Amino acid sequence: MNHAKTAATSVPLHPLLAERWSPRSFDRQYPLTERELLPLLEAARWSPSANNSQPWRFALTLRGSAEFDAIVETLAAGNRAWADAASALVVVAAETAGPDGSPRPWATYDTGQAAAHLSVQAEYEGLAVHQMGGFDRDALADLLDAPAAVTPLVVLAIGRRATADGLAEPFLSRELAARTRRPVEELLLGVDARAEESAA
């Protein structure tokens, strides 16, 4: 049966955030259409970006298509082992330079943020997203046939979570393992009070 891996938080979070996690077990029978991916793309589209530059780009592929199979081939072996059961594989890329060639220093930051918005909307739609940085960059860039400034960052496996029993090791253990995070205190940096004095 599907299991929850709800985040253990120090204070309550919105369930869409607390209950999101990255599965390796997807329902191989569950079909998705491009229309059903639209809310996810809208969520990405409306995320903030530096100067509203909106540098995120997406390539959509659905299971059963030759394009989907071609993306699977570019994945690292440890991802290929399970990601082919997803209903969709979506390449997320960043356009790292503007139309005049000027660099966009925040392009990857902005694109990651768009992927985060997409993931939360997916949770709302009853879908799960597993982001994958493990893929052959050159092979994927060739498949996309995109301009040089468009850099693939991750491939998203998107679908319905399924029971873990279909997974082989080591993926089964990873699927069942508890999710962990550093405590909030470890995320906090100090600020030197002298900076405040010199600004005054």
Ligand X SMILES: Cc1cc2nc3c(=O)[nH]c(=O)nc-3n(C[C@H](O)[C@H](O)[C@H](O)COP(=O)(O)O)c2cc1C
Size of the site for ligand X (CB under 6 A): 9
Tell me, residue by residue from 58 to 97, as one string, x for binding to ligand X by CB under 6 A and - for no binding.
Answer: ---------------------x------------------
Is 150:93 a contact under the CB 8 Å cutoff?
yes
Q: Is residue 151 near ligand X by the rule CB under 6 A? A: no
Q: Is residue 113 near ligand X by the rule CB under 6 A? A: no
Q: How far is the CB of 163 from ligand X (least distance, A)?
A: 17
Q: How far is the CB of 134 from ligand X (least distance, A)?
A: 3
Q: Is residue 98 near ligand X by the rule CB under 6 A? A: no
Q: Is residue 25 near ligand X by the rule CB under 6 A? A: no
Give the CA distances from residue 131 to residues 3, 102, 158, 199, in Å, rounded to whole numbers and listed in that order: 19, 28, 9, 42
Q: Is residue 132 near ligand X by the rule CB under 6 A? A: yes
Q: Is residue 3 near ligand X by the rule CB under 6 A? A: no
Q: Which of 18, 19, 21, 141 binds ligand X (CB under 6 A)?
A: 21
Options 40-48, 53-61, 98-106, 130-138: segment touching ligand X (CB under 6 A): 130-138
Q: Which of 22, 47, 49, 113 binds ligand X (CB under 6 A)?
A: 22
Give CA–CA dist 54/92, Å, rounded: 13
Q: How far is the CB of 183 from ligand X (least distance, A)?
A: 16
42 C-beta neighbours (distance < 10 Å), count: 12
Q: Which of 89, 131, 140, 152 binds ligand X (CB under 6 A)?
A: 131
Question: How far does CA 116 lie from the centroid of its chain?
Answer: 7
What is the torsion angle, in degrees rounded to the nearest 10, for the CA atoms of residue 121, residue 56, residue 89 and residue 43?
A: 10
Q: What residues line the site for ligand X (CB under 6 A)? A: 21-22, 79, 131-134, 154, 179
